[in-house]
């Protein structure tokens, strides 16, 4: 072997000093996500470890690139986690209430390979499960074996270089589904659906977390090339109601809306068009209506060709709130205009006669520092702080052109949730990770440039009151998930579960369990993990009575 051919190519990757969101990804180097409020909730991940799973031995190749994760480049300064783990009987502080029986699943991006041009939303989907029963907790984590994960593992290299940008793919990515399954995980038809909005779901076994189907199409009933990360469930019928945007391919203005029965058969669908193409991350479903909000996070193919990520924030665009009837042909769809706003998640939605109500966290401007502003405005953290708003329209009025919007509460935060049994129904109780700036700062942390997500707030819409679980500024809370106290528990009566990162312990992760009737009493139990896990985007609770038998 010649000296030349045995040489390894080492790609040098300079950690970036600042947020490079306004530079094209092809020239910017590593993009730091910055310690913004939004990503504070998707708190930082860390740790190192070997790639698990069975891979072929390293093929002798002159082209092999050294796998090296440069420090301080990704996920707010932390490295990837990458370890797939099993812990039987986790260390528990306090006492797990004996009536908690089920599994808490969470998913988030975790780098498989170094991604010099990567943004936090583009890591590979890593799923964790906390199986809780009889006062004990077993932990398991596995990567979703997406087509993309498998192709990259085989190539021993990253093949998808820029977020949702096919023009920057390695040629070896051709024909491989680009879905990362890194955004949300829900339980449907005895399987976990691991979801990314640019691709069909990936199904996983709820007990082993083995990937079952890396391209799940509802037996062909999913006519869209994409599927949202935020399907809804109608608990009375067991139906899933869902959609895909950019449904016919890159930059297409088609949205496929559908519902399927509990066994995976699509029972209804409609095709609709959007006023402009952009991110439709979540949607709203009531008993009567389906609603979408188009926000100025616009798809931009021209910029993709220049090496930028899929989206750019176009502050000249309005928002559009679109409403159609469930079960119809989609021709009744009406769009109502509103001002520039960023909104990502629906807490809950309901209809009352011909009125549709949708509760979302909303901010004045772009909330994602790594999706650049199109017109060069610097990222504005103040304008990116979101709070709960209620959007509504009265569809019996034929002449209205705009939707109504009301701020419900002053608390700032992101990732709102509800008691998921009340999806599509009138509801009263919601929850959201928030930052309480009124509390004293932990002295050991000194003068912090930002407040971490230090609380979970419970909202009671019946009298617009709130109560708060405050964990302290030495911890950063990720999204919470509601666990009913028992099968017949009243709305919102039960527990919140979610992961906290301990900032004074290098971000080490704990699962905290809080009683929703005693939000300010502190956790009833804390499950200690012996490491800092990757950051979660969303999570899902599956009650033990719904899980398949082992």
Q: Binding residues for ligand V55, per CB under 6 A?
A: 109, 121, 182-183, 197, 281, 344, 537
26's enclosing H/E stretch is helix 25-28
For ligand V55, give the closer residue by CB, 141 or 535. 535
CB of 351 to ligand V55, least distance (A): 25
The Cα 218–Cα 203 span in angstroms is 11
Q: Nearer to ligand V55 by C-beta: 298 or 537?
A: 537
- Output the furthest CA–CA distance in the chain (Å, rounded): 78
Residue 219: phi, psi to the nearest 5? Answer: 55, 35
CB closer to ligand V55 out of 183 and 259 = 183
The residue among 245 and 403 lying less far from ligand V55, judged by its C-beta, is 245
Question: How far apart, in whole angstroms, are the C-alpha atoms of residue 389 and residue 386?
Answer: 9
Candidates 185, 184, 280, 269; CA nearest to 223 is 269
- Cβ at position 227, least distance to ligand V55 in Å: 13
Closest C-alpha to 131, from 542, 502, 471, 512 = 542
Residue 146 or 516 having the CB closest to ligand V55:
146
Give the nearest distance from C-beta 228 to ligand V55 in angstroms: 10
Return phi, psi of residue 444, to 5°: -65, -20
Calculate the alpha carbon distances from 231 to 185, 239, 345 in Å: 10, 10, 12
Q: List the structure tokens of 208.
A: 């082993």
Instruction: Give the nearest residue (CB) to ligand V55.
Output: 121
CA distance 343 to 379: 16
Which CB, 430 or 472, lies closer to ligand V55?
430
The Cα 474–Cα 409 span in angstroms is 25
**Shortest distance, position 182 Cβ to ligand V55, whole Å:** 5
In 284-386, alpha helices (H): 301-305
Q: What angle do CA 149, 152, 154 make, to 5 degrees?
A: 110
C-alpha distances in angstroms, 236 versus 42, 240, 485, 543? Answer: 32, 11, 19, 16
In the bound state with ligand V55, the residue whose beta carbon lies nearer, of 251 and 325, is 251
Of 294 and 514, nearer to ligand V55 (C-beta) is 294
- Residue 368 or 470: which CB sits closer to ligand V55? 368
Pick the closest to residue 455 from 523, 532, 505, 535 (CA basis): 523
β-pairing verdict for 429-434 and 465-470: unpaired
CB of 88 to ligand V55, least distance (A): 30
Cβ-based neighbour number of residue 526 at 10 Å: 17
Closest separation in Å from C-beta 11 to ligand V55? 25
Smallest gap from Cβ 33 to ligand V55, in A, equals 12
Rounded to a whole number of angstroms, the minimum distance from the CB of residue 494 to ligand V55 is: 25
Beta bridge partners of 194: 185, 202
The least CB distance from residue 181 to ligand V55, in Å, is 10
């Amino acid at each position: 072997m010649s000296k030349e051919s045995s040489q390894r190519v080492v790609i040098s990757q300079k950690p970036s000093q600042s947020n490079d969101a306004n530079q094209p990804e092809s020239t910017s180097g590593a993009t730091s996500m910055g310690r913004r409020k939004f990503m504070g909730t998707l708190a930082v991940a860390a740790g190192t470890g070997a790639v698990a799973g069975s891979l072929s031995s390293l093929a002798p190749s002159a082209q092999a690139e050294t796998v090296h994760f440069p420090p301080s480049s990704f996920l707010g300064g932390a490295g990837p986690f990458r370890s797939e783990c099993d812990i039987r009987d986790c260390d528990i502080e306090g006492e797990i209430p004996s009536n908690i029986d089920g599994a808490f699943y969470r998913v988030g991006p975790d780098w498989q390979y170094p991604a010099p041009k990567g943004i936090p939303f583009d890591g590979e989907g890593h799923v964790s499960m906390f199986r809780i029963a009889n006062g004990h907790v077993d932990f398991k984590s596995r990567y979703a074996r997406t087509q993309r994960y498998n192709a990259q593992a085989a190539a021993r290299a990253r093949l998808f270089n820029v977020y949702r940008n096919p023009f920057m793919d390695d040629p070896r990515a051709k024909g491989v589904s680009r879905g990362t399954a890194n955004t949300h995980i829900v339980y449907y038809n005895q399987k976990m659906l691991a979801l990314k909005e640019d691709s069909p779901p990936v199904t996983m076994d709820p007990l082993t977390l083995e990937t079952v189907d890396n391209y799940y199409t509802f037996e062909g009933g999913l006519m869209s090339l994409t599927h949202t990360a935020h399907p809804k469930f109608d608990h009375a019928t067991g139906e899933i109601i869902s959609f895909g945007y950019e449904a016919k391919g890159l930059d297409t203005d088609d949205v496929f809306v559908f519902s399927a029965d509990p066994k995976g058969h699509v029972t209804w669908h409609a095709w609709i068009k959007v006023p402009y193409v952009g991110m439709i991350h979540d949607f709203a479903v009531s008993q009567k209506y389906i609603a979408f909000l188009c926000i100025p996070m616009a798809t931009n193919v021209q910029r993709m060709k220049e090496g930028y990520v899929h989206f750019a924030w176009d502050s000249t665009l309005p928002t559009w709130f679109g409403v159609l009837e469930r079960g119809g042909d989609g021709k009744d769809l009406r769009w109502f205009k509103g001002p520039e706003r960023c909104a990502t998640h629906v807490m809950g939605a309901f209809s009352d006669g011909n009125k549709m109500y949708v509760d979302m966290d909303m901010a004045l401007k772009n909330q994602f520092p790594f999706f650049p502003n199109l017109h060069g405005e610097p990222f504005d953290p103040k304008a990116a702080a979101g709070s709960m708003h209620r959007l509504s329209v009265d569809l019996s009025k034929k002449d209205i052109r705009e939707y109504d919007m009301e701020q419900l509460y002053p608390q700032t935060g992101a990732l709102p949730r509800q008691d998921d049994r009340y999806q599509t129904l009138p509801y009263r109780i919601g929850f959201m990770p928030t930052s309480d700036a009124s509390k004293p700062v932990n002295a050991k942390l000194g003068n912090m440039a930002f407040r971490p997500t230090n609380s979970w707030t419970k909202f009671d819409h019946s009298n617009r009151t709130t109560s708060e679980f405050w964990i302290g500024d030495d911890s950063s809370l990720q999204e919470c998930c509601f666990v009913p106290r028992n099968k017949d528990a009243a709305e919102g009566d039960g527990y919140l579960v979610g992961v906290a990162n301990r900032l004074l312990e290098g971000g080490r992760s704990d699962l905290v369990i809080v009683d929703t009737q005693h939000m300010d009493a502190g956790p009833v139990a804390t499950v200690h993990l012996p490491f800092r896990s990757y950051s979660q985007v969303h999570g899902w609770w599956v009650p033990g009575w719904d899980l398949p038998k082992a």
